[in-house]
Amino acid sequence: MRRIDLAHRLDVSEETIRLWEKGAVQPSPDRLPRLIAVLSLEASGWQIEDKAPPEELPALARQLREERVALGLTQVAAAERLGVPQATYAGWETGRAMPAPHSHPSIAAFLGLSAEAVDALCAAPFVVDRADWPPFGQLVGGVRERLRLTRADLADRVGVSARTVMSWELGYRRPQPHQLTALAAALSVSVPELLDTLPRRAAISALGDLIVRRQRELGLRSSDLARLVGTTEPTVSRWINGHSRPEARNLQRLAEALGLPYTHLADLAARNGGLRV
C-alpha cells in the first residue's frame, strides 16, 4: 500500500502519513483505531473502548461495562467468557453494535439475568438527553435519536472520535469544513442546515486563515504544528487570530512545517502589522 493509498483510506494527507512514519507527530486518538483496522494490526490486548459517559451508552452497554469492571476483567477476558472476539465484545460495550439473538443466552449468563431481560435491554428505546445543549447540538442529537445512532456510531461514519462528537454537541468545539460535509452526509441533512445552527465565527488574520487551511490539508492539529515549529499551542492560536506576530525564525519554521514559501508567509505577516525580528 502506498502512502497516498493509506492517506485516502484515513482521510488525511500523504504528508501526515510521512510525519507519522518519521515520528514527528503521532496519530490523534480518533485516527488510531482506524489506522489499526486498515493495516490489520494485532491489537488483541488493547482496550478498544470509548470514554463516553455512561448515560450516553445504551442500557445493555452500560450493564456490560459495569459487570466487567465489577468482576475486574479486561475486555479480552470478558470476550473469552462470552466466546466472541474482543472486537465484537467491544462493539457491544461501547454501544457500536447490538448482539445477535443467538448471543443473548451467553450474555444473560454473564450478567446474571434471564434471556428475556436481555431481549428487553436490546429492544430498549434509544433516547438522547439533549437538554441545555446549544442549537447545533440539539440538531445533531435529535437526528441521532431518530436514527438510533450513538456518538460512537456517528463518529465512525464521520471519521472522528466519539469524544469529538460530544465536544461538537456540547458546544466545546465546532466541526472543520470537511468534517461538516461528512457530518451532513452521515445525518442525511444539508450543510446549510448545520451551518445555520452554528454561532458566527470572528474574522481571523490573513496569515491565520492560511495557517488554518494548511493545517486542514495536512491533517495537523494545532499541537502538532506547535511541536514542529518549536513553540506552544497558545502561541500558534495567537498567530492565527492576529493577536501577535511570529518572529522571523519562527516564521521560517512555520513555512517549513506547512510546506509553504517563507516569502508568502512574511508578506501576510507584514500585512498584520509588520514582522518582528
Q: Does 241 reside within a domain?
A: yes
240 and 221 part of one domain:
yes
Tell the burial category of 199 from Cβ atoms under 10 Å away from its Cβ (0-12, 13-18, 19+): exposed
Q: Does 46 reside within a domain?
A: no
115 and 159 part of one domain:
no
Q: Does 35 reside within a domain?
A: yes
71 and 111 part of one domain:
yes
The total of structural domains in the chain comes to 4
The C-alpha atoms of residue 41 and residue 277 are separated, in whole angstroms, by: 48
Amino acid letter, residue 263: T
Q: Does 128 reside within a domain?
A: no
Expressed as residue numbers, the domain containing 216 is: 206-271
Q: Does 201 reside within a domain?
A: no
Q: Does 177 reside within a domain?
A: yes
Q: Does 49 reside within a domain?
A: no
pLDDT per residue, tens digit, the chain (277 aa), is 888 888 877 777 888 888 889 888 778 766 776 777 677 665 555 555 545 555 567 788 889 989 999 999 888 889 899 998 877 787 788 776 778 888 999 999 999 999 899 998 888 777 777 877 899 999 999 998 888 787 877 888 888 887 788 889 988 788 887 788 889 999 999 988 998 898 765 556 788 888 888 887 787 877 888 889 998 888 888 888 777 888 888 999 999 999 999 998 888 888 755 443 3
Instruction: Write b or e for each residue in 165-190: b if 16 or more Cβ atoms lie within 10 A of its Cβ, otherwise e.
Output: bbbbbeeeeebeeebbebbbebbeee
- Using a cut of 0.75, tell me whether the model's pTM lies above it: no
For 220-241, give the DSSP string.
Answer: --HHHHHHHHTS-HHHHHHHHT
Domain end among 64, 95, 122? 122
The C-alpha atoms of residue 65 and residue 75 are separated, in whole angstroms, by: 9
192 and 213 part of one domain:
no
What CATH number is given to the structural domain containing 59?
1.10.260.40
